[in-house]
Structure 1
Amino acid sequence: MRNYANPTNFLQLAGALIPLLAALTGALLCLGLSLAWFVAPPDYQQGETVRIMYLHVPAAWLSLFAYIVMTAAALGTLVWRHPLADAAQKAAAPLGAGFTFLCLATGSLWGKPMWGAWWVWDARLTSVLVLFLIYLGLIALWRTIEDPGKAARAAAIFTLVGAVNIPIIKFSVDWWNTLHQPASVFRLGGPAISGSMLWPLVVMASAFTLLFLTLHLMAIRNEILRRRLRRLSILAADAEESGITRAGSSMEAAYEQ
């Protein structure tokens, strides 16, 4: 895998994987949506409203997964100086923000008929909102600092500090008395929901994961190309400035003669 730390090798790998991942993502999304809306039964208490779960829960998982990817990339930037780590971190931030926003939006739509309110300052909801604000802060930080190297180090430190919010989100329903239900899929006693609801949820989660991987590879590729273009622009500007300087020196020498 060390060979793919080279941006050129990574671009070749991404070019081969992106079409395949995109096709798999489309197929799983179609299958998952079909299972969720036409096969999975309604809940005996929530009725048809429970179908929001098949968008809300995968989005919630991916909001955390994207930040875990960013945390690993931040360590790669600060500790191992991996050539692509900062690009991977920068590319993941908008995707994580998008999945977190989808999680909050679908949760609000789900909460209104269940809790009678669009929003409550529940421990789980509040910590996910903090995660969304962290994503926005990282995006702003990348855009504020012009030098990519300085921006990468600052964003890596910010990301590692913000990682403390991940276990808070995960265990908030266990540590505090909240309206949010406890874990019903990843639990020691096994899933607490029936297979007729579990399998559509697993398919949708897999589709969302492949969607993230596809978009992440595309974003990293675009970031590499953007940096190459920036480097070429700087070299061209330096060459032009050097040419003007040499021409000015030649003219001054000719004038003195």
Structure 2
Amino acid sequence: MWQFFHKLGSPRWFYGIANRFMPWFLVIGLALTLTGIVWGLAFAPKDYLQGNSYRIIFIHVPTAFLAQSVYVMMAVAAVVTLVWRMKLADVFVKSVAPVGAVLTFLALFTGAVWGKPTWGTWWIWDARLTSMLILLFLYFGVIALAAAISDEKSSARAVAVLVLVGVVNIPIIQYSVEWWNTLHQPSTFKLTEKPTMPVEMWLPLLLVVLGLYLLFGWLACYRVQTEILWRERRTQWVKSLIQPRGVA
């Protein structure tokens, strides 16, 4: 286990192992996501209260779920950065922060689209909505801080501290509907509890969630690989990757 952990900190080793998994992540992720979305939007039954407007959950719930998960992953990588000083952990944080920001924006936007017919308004300073907006600002803060500090070591430490400070917002998002009286409904989908929806609704939702996680895995590997090539561009192993065949 520890041997694998230390190997994971090697940019060259990670670059090679990522190449093996990325095609699988992409193909299976696309298949699951498209199947779930088509099933949910075209074939799942209407909700007895919300009618067809509920179908936005097949985009809103997976993006909101993944947006929070990405930040938790960043927090774990931030601990690795501060404790074990692994450069790859810092690369991961800075590579996936823009992805997390896009996911959070999509969750907020689709939530607003859902909220209009459900609550009669695009936005309200509800506890769940406000804490998700704070998550978006945290992602922006990580991106801005990473770009503002040129020294890699100082940047890695500063970004890691900011990520760990901001992770307190994740349980607030999760339990906001239980701690406060809010308009936002309780979580539609929980992995630890039996779904309250019929199988025709929750199964396509589960497919989209799993598919998006795999697509995130592919995109994260791609972005991390790109950053590795830039940081390691002067090393021999990277030069051998980009060297044209037949050139000594």
Q: How does 1:1-257 map to 2 (within 5 A)?
A: 1=4, 2-186=6-190, 190-229=194-233
What whole-Å deviation, never above 9, does each CA across 1:49-71 have from its counterpart, x for those lacking one? Answer: 11100000000000100000000
What whole-Å deviation, never above 9, does each CA across 1:17-63 have from its counterpart, x for those lacking one? Answer: 11121111111122112211222111111111111000000000001
What whole-Å deviation, never above 9, does each CA across 1:104-151 have from its counterpart, x for those lacking one? Answer: 000000001111111000000000000000000100011111112111
Superposed displacement of residue 4, structure 1: 2.8
Q: Give me the whole-angstrom Cα distance separating, in 2, the residues matched to 1:131 and 1:47.
A: 30
Q: Give me the whole-angstrom Cα distance separating, in 2, the residues matched to 1:28 and 1:41.
A: 19
Gaps of 5+ in 1: 233-257
Gaps of 5+ in 2: 236-248
Q: Give me the whole-angstrom Cα distance separating, in 2, the residues matched to 1:188 and 1:15.
A: 32
Q: 1:43 to 1:97 in 2, by over 3 A?
A: same
Q: 1:189 to 1:15 in 2, by over 3 A?
A: closer
SS at match of 1:200: helix
Q: Give me the whole-angstrom Cα distance separating, in 1, the residues matched to 2:187 and 2:15.
A: 39
Identity across matched positions, percent? 45
Q: Give me the whole-angstrom Cα distance separating, in 2, the residues matched to 1:26 and 1:174.
A: 34
Letter in 2 for 1:99: L
Letter in 2 for 1:79: V
Q: Give me the whole-angstrom Cα distance separating, in 2, the residues matched to 1:17 and 1:183.
A: 31
Q: Give me the whole-angstrom Cα distance separating, in 2, the residues matched to 1:117 and 1:38.
A: 26
SS at match of 2:185: coil
Normalised by the size of structure 2, how large is the TM-score?
A: 0.90
Which of 1 and 2 has greater Rg? 1
Letter in 1 for 2:122: W
Normalised by the size of structure 1, how large is the TM-score?
A: 0.87
1:246 alignment partner in structure 2:
none
CA RMSD of aligned residues (A): 1.4
Q: 1:197 to 1:127 in 2, by over 3 A?
A: same
Q: 1:68 to 1:42 in 2, by over 3 A?
A: same
SS at match of 2:183: coil
Letter in 2 for 1:59: T
